[in-house]
Amino acid sequence: MPMDAAFVAAKIGFVFFTVLNLAGLLGWVERKQSALMQDRIGANRAPIFGITLIGLFHPLADAIKAFTKEDFIPARANKVLHTLAPLLAVVPAFTAFAVIPFGDTMTLAGKTVSLVIADLDVGVLFVFAIMSLAAYGVVLAGWSSWNNFSLLGGLRASAQMLSYEIVMGLTLVGVFMTYGSLQLTAIARAQGEFFTFGGVNTWIPKWGILTQPVAFFLFMAAAIAESKRAPFDVAEAESELVAGYFTEYSGMKFLMFWMGEFVEIVVISGLVATLFFGGWQIPWLARDGFHVPLTDVVIALPAMLITLAGVGAFWTKVMILIWLQMTIRWTLPRFRYDQIMRMGWKMLLPLSLANIFVTGLVILLLKD
Amino acid sequence: MEQTMFYVFAAVALGSSLAMVMQRNPVTAAMNLVLTMFSLAALFVLLQAHFLAVIQLLVYAGAVMVLFLFVIMFLNLTDDQMMPGRRSILHVAGVALAIYALLQLRELIERTPASAPKPLAADFGTTAAIGKLLFSDYLLPFEITSVLILAAIVGAVVLAKRRID
């Protein structure tokens, strides 16, 4: 029993530490990548003993700055809710990562450990349930600040998050139908199989992006809208609303909104990697070793090495997806509010329903 | 452990629902209701009904209450706009209803046999088990509910459309 508890604590520690640091690092990535894309030099200051390390110490400087700044609460603001809002924005984002598997099972000290904090039967629904609570952080921040810009930002955010949550959920129904489970470990494991064509193994892995390509694009669009980043950043549109719902925040609380946004990016990347890119799976690398494509040759490898390679593969996929989100964020201009609503309800929602219908049809046809 | 958790979440659920009724500020009241929903979901988890717990969070805490907050913020009423007169009648009616509900609850407790509950099936509360039940034993109520919801959606659209035209 104490052994199990230790394993659980180690897993929570590992995920928390990795996600927190990845999110912190994203503050630097965002500036550096935007600079590269706009032909600027970007973050290159904050030296420690003259070493700048291409500006990698900037997140550290940011944190020190935020800790020492004055924590300002507007005079007529609702103090309790104003303090609660940033917590509500950041805690659900972290919690959602609890059901995302970051590796296959691992045998340690005679015990088989599944590399996921909580392997829930409801799986991905848990992520949705928790992420939907993050809307309160934004809405309350907008309302409690006693500022019209904040209120407008909060209103826009609540309408947008509510609309795109529906699209996000419905899009994934096709994925559930294909893999026959809501459990994220089961979905990731099923993606290790190969397509068979007329009884012949094609050696193409059954990754979600190949079985559900439409769902991938719809989910990615809805997920970016859910994290309220450009082109869906009307809630904090700096050219119209100063900073939207977090206009009246400073110091640590401001940093918490910032962290919440970056953690959400990491969670979305982890979710997309698990649902559409095979999770920890590396093509042709099975539990017993590397299967050379188109042959029956199996190169046996130690189990521990395969598991660790899987963990590495998962985080690599996460980082590639983060890069993709950053590129989208710095490429596209902002949508208008009415365009966002029209796109969510009149384009993405019908498309996701059509995706469910077509998926059902294909499953029915392939059955016989 | 399980019992302690039950008492903690039950206390939070009761406390927050009481606070919801007592609060004058609509946003604080709504947030207290969210806390009630959250503790109810936790109680569902303690009863092994994981699917129900997640749906409770997703639908009530995540969607319905966000919509409530949206409307509250959209109207942004001041204190005197919110409670137009005749408050005493409402108070009397509320107290009478509460007493009635408590009496009903007592009767229910008296009718419940004081024996240990039956052991649960291994797949109790899983998504698959609930799906099977919904599409076999409870198919008719399930379909009737969906027709009802469809009617509500059409009604809402018709009402909103008349306003716009």
Q: In B47-138, where does DSSP find H-type helix?
A: 50-55, 65-75, 79-82, 87-111, 127-134
Q: With beta carbons under 8 A apart, name residues in chain A contacting B48.
A: none
Query: What's residue B101's pLDDT?
Result: 93
Q: With beta carbons under 8 A apart, name residues in chain B contacting A136.
A: 31, 34, 66, 69
Q: Is A206 within a domain?
A: yes
Taking the C-alpha atoms of residue B90 and residue B106, their distance in angstroms, rounded to an integer, is 24
Nearest-by-CA chain A residue for B49 = A122
Q: With beta carbons under 8 A apart, name residues in chain B contacting A125.
A: 51, 54-55, 58, 127
- State the smallest CA–CA distance between residue A61 and chain B in angstroms: 35
Q: Is B85 within a domain?
A: no
R_g of chain B computed on alpha carbons: 20
Q: Is A20 within a domain?
A: no
**Residue B8 identity:** V
Taking the C-alpha atoms of residue A221 and residue B109, their distance in angstroms, rounded to an integer, is 51
Domain boundary among B54, B77, B100: B77
Q: Is B135 within a domain?
A: yes
- State the smallest CA–CA distance between residue A158 and chain B in angstroms: 7
Q: For A152-161, A211-220, A322-331, B122-131, which range has the lowest pLDDT when averaged over its residues?
A: B122-131
Number of domains in chain A: 1
Q: Is A246 within a domain?
A: yes
Q: Is A34 within a domain?
A: no
Domain encompassing residue A148:
72-367
Residues B73 and B134 in one domain: no
Q: With beta carbons under 8 A apart, name residues in chain B contacting A132.
A: 57-58, 61-63, 66
Query: What's residue B83's pLDDT?
Result: 62
Number of domains in chain B: 2
Query: Phi/psi at B30 (nearest 5 deg)?
Result: -65, -40
Beta strands in A18-129 (DSSP E): 105-108, 111-114
Q: What is the CATH number of the domain that holds B24?
A: 1.20.120.1200
Residues B73 and B140 in one domain: no
Q: Is B138 within a domain?
A: yes
Q: What is the pLDDT along chain B (165 residues), one digit of tens a residue?
A: 788 888 999 999 999 998 888 877 788 888 898 889 989 998 988 888 888 888 888 888 888 888 888 888 777 766 666 665 656 787 888 889 999 999 999 998 888 877 777 777 777 777 888 888 888 889 999 999 999 999 999 998 898 888 776
CB-based contacts of A288, cutoff 8 Å, min separation 6: A298, A300
Please tell me the number of Cα atoms within 13 Å of A90 on its side-chain side: 20
Predicted complex ipTM exceeds 0.85: no
Q: Is B112 within a domain?
A: no
Taking the C-alpha atoms of residue A267 and residue A26, their distance in angstroms, rounded to an integer, is 13
Q: Is B46 within a domain?
A: yes
Q: Is A147 within a domain?
A: yes
Q: Which member of B34, B54, B74 has the closest CB to residue A122? A: B54
Tell me what the mean pLDDT of segment A227-233 comes to. Answer: 81
Tell me what the mean pLDDT of segment A262-280 comes to. Answer: 89
Q: With beta carbons under 8 A apart, name residues in chain A contacting B27.
A: 78, 81, 140, 143-144
CB contact (8 A) between residue B62 and residue A133 = yes
Domain encompassing residue B55:
1-77
Taking the C-alpha atoms of residue A274 and residue A186, their distance in angstroms, rounded to an integer, is 10
Mean pLDDT of chain A: 84
Please tell me the number of Cα atoms within 13 Å of A99 on its side-chain side: 25
**What pLDDT band is residue A57 in, cutting at 50, 70 and 90?**
confident
Query: Phi/psi at A290 (nearest 5 deg)?
Result: -85, 120
Global pTM reads 0.85
Q: Is B141 within a domain?
A: yes
Residues B71 and B5 in one domain: yes
**Residue A359 identity:** T
Q: Is B163 within a domain?
A: yes
| Burial group, residue A50, by CB count within 10 angstroms (0-12, 13-18, 19+) | exposed
Q: Which member of A122, A129, A139 has the closest CB to residue B66? A: A139
Q: Is B104 within a domain?
A: no
Residues making up chain B, counted from first to last: 165
CB contact (8 A) between residue B51 and residue A121 = yes
